Amino acid sequence: MNFPEAFTQQIKTRLGDQYQAFIDSLQTESPTSIRLNPFKKSSTPTGEAIPWHSEGYYLSERPVFTLDPAFHAGAYYVQEASSMFVAEAVKQTVNLSKPLKVLDLCAAPGGKTTLLASLLNQNSLLVANEVIKSRVGILKENLEKWGFSNYIVANHDPEEMVELEGFFDVVLVDAPCSGEGLFRKDPKAMNEWSENSVNICSARQKRILQAAAMLVAPKGILIYSTCTYNEKENQQNTQWLTQVADFEEIKLNIPSDWNIDDSRNGYQFFPHRVKGEGFFLSVFKKKFGDDNYIQAKVKLNRLRNRETALLEPFIENIEDFDFFLKPDSSIVAIPNELAAEYGTVMRALDRRSSGIEIGTIKGTDFVPTHALALSSIIKKDLPAIELLKEDALKFLKRENFEADLAQSGWVLVRYEGLNLGWIKVIGDRINNYLPKEWRIRMDIE
């Protein structure tokens, strides 16, 4: 690997006699790791446990994930090991038994959003924001697969979220950065690196942090993370935050054998010290501030009782939800405990979803969505067929597969007990309702 000269100089000065070990570690293969979905128990083979995340595992080799139906069912997320440390930071600093309002400000593709979702209780709301529009689709897809249903996906610049000042108990800023920690995994990051790009990143991060700081409730938590080692993006920015806003850094209790470096104003992961990529994380608590957001009601078109009755066979604990019609006639489910919080977020943001879309009503029929099939709110005892791997992959390719079907109407397709999507059985015909854009495009032998 030919590192940029200025990078080499910086990291040499920083690491001193550890420099050679650092360089050697970058010549080794990047570890593959997954994080299991606590909502979807599966028989996914795991390997060595990741020390800082109870559901994280290293795999001894990188399988073709596309060919594993459990991956499509959201049984696990393929995530770089170091970044799973966010969960430990949350566990140590947040009371997770309380209903929380949580914002993932730089969320796509959703690795840390799904990680946060796994930690939250059923009365918590998770807002996943991504400023780049073309990246919102993958974020939505990953959230739908994960199955946690109390989320809103938004598409805003952090500075446009001012109406939510003081609203969130937890804000995660997983900032766009120079990516020094990804040089081994993604050589593109190395080719794009320059001192100038570091300066641009650092300034952008300050802007994001400033907007994020305002969104945190008094006594709330702000987590800042990057996948770089650069002090201009990490320590300088975190120090700056404590100077310009009312935040204090919170120290975490970290076992020494995790080999995470307690660097000034945060924690740094180096690939020669941990089995993972370069990563930086810092946690802050807001000292004071106003939670002066206005609890706003949005006028939503509530589904009539007669139509709500059509949903009953599909939704577990239906009494826990309110159902609304969007202008395009799709139905969204909002947990009734969280109606006020959903209203406030929806009022404050223009470009956002409005809760999990569960289906539409056509005539006297309810047409369920794929998101409902994969979500935790779906009724457990719906008609279903269990497919073996070969046929499950055919379903995921939207090809014909063999099935002995006694049922008719809407039937869930399952693989090892995990929902993969819907088919509709009409007489001898099976209609596959897997969204076209989700279908496996790869040739399978």
Note whether 11 and 229 are within 8 A (CB): yes
Q: Tell me which of 50, 120, 131, 411 binds ligand SAM, using CB under 6 A.
A: 131
Count CB atoms within 10 A of the CB of residue 239: 16
CB of 160 to ligand SAM, least distance (A): 10
Greatest C-alpha distance within the chain:
73
From CA 44, how far away is CA 58, in angstroms rounded?
12
Q: Tell me which of 63, 176, 383, 417 binds ligand SAM, using CB under 6 A.
A: 176
CB of 401 to ligand SAM, least distance (A): 32
Indicate the pairing of strand 261-263 with strand 266-269. Answer: antiparallel
Tokens standing for residue 430: 């099976």
From CA 79, how far away is CA 56, in angstroms rounded?
9
From CA 144, how far away is CA 146, in angstroms rounded?
5
Task: With contacts defined by CB under 6 A, name the span among 63-71, 124-132, 332-340, 375-383 that binds ligand SAM.
Answer: 124-132
* C-alpha closest to that of 11 among 225, 261, 270, 267: 270
Write the CA distances from 325 to 155, 302, 353, integer angstroms.
Answer: 21, 6, 13
Indicate the pairing of strand 101-104 with strand 125-129. Answer: parallel
Q: Tell me which of 112, 185, 352, 370 binds ligand SAM, using CB under 6 A.
A: 112
From CA 439, how far away is CA 435, in angstroms rounded?
7
Q: Tell me which of 55, 68, 88, 174 binds ligand SAM, using CB under 6 A.
A: 174
Count CB atoms within 10 A of the CB of residue 322: 18
Specify the residue, 170 or 208, whose C-beta has the smaller distance to ligand SAM. 208
Q: Does 111 bind ligand SAM (CB under 6 A)?
A: yes
CB of 278 to ligand SAM, least distance (A): 12
Hey, which residues between 186 and 245 contact ligand SAM (CB under 6 A)? 204, 208
From CA 20, how far away is CA 30, in angstroms rounded?
17
Contacts 24+ apart (CB under 8 A), 249-253: 249/282, 249/283, 249/284, 250/92, 250/93, 250/221, 250/283, 250/284, 250/285, 252/88, 252/89, 252/92, 252/93, 252/283, 253/92
Specify the residue, 137 or 176, whose C-beta has the smaller distance to ligand SAM. 176
Specify the residue, 38 or 176, whose C-beta has the smaller distance to ligand SAM. 176
Q: Tell me which of 107, 116, 127, 378 binds ligand SAM, using CB under 6 A.
A: 107
CB of 130 to ligand SAM, least distance (A): 5
From CA 248, how far away is CA 283, in angstroms rounded?
8
CB of 89 to ligand SAM, least distance (A): 14
CB of 420 to ligand SAM, least distance (A): 23
Across 31-42, b (16+ Cβ under 10 Å) vs e yields bbbbbbbebbeb
Specify the residue, 131 or 260, whose C-beta has the smaller distance to ligand SAM. 131
Count of residues in contact with ligand SAM, rule CB under 6 A:
17
Q: Tell me which of 21, 132, 162, 444 binds ligand SAM, using CB under 6 A.
A: 132
Start-to-end CA span in the chain (Å): 35
Q: What 8-state DSSP symbol labels residue 135?
A: G
Per-residue binder mask for ligand SAM (CB under 6 A), 135-154, x = binder: x-------------------
Q: Does 106 bind ligand SAM (CB under 6 A)?
A: yes
CB of 120 to ligand SAM, least distance (A): 16
Specify the residue, 140 or 414, whose C-beta has the smaller distance to ligand SAM. 140
Tokens standing for residue 107: 């969320």
Specify the residue, 79 or 375, whose C-beta has the smaller distance to ligand SAM. 79
Specify the residue, 42 or 205, whose C-beta has the smaller distance to ligand SAM. 205
Q: Tell me which of 73, 108, 311, 430 binds ligand SAM, using CB under 6 A.
A: 108
Task: With contacts defined by CB under 6 A, name the span among 128-136, 311-319, 392-400, 437-445 that binds ligand SAM.
Answer: 128-136
Per-residue binder mask for ligand SAM (CB under 6 A), 61-100, x = binder: ----------------------------------------
Q: Which spans of this chain sit near ligand SAM (rule: CB under 6 A)? A: 106-112, 130-132, 135, 157-158, 174, 176, 204, 208
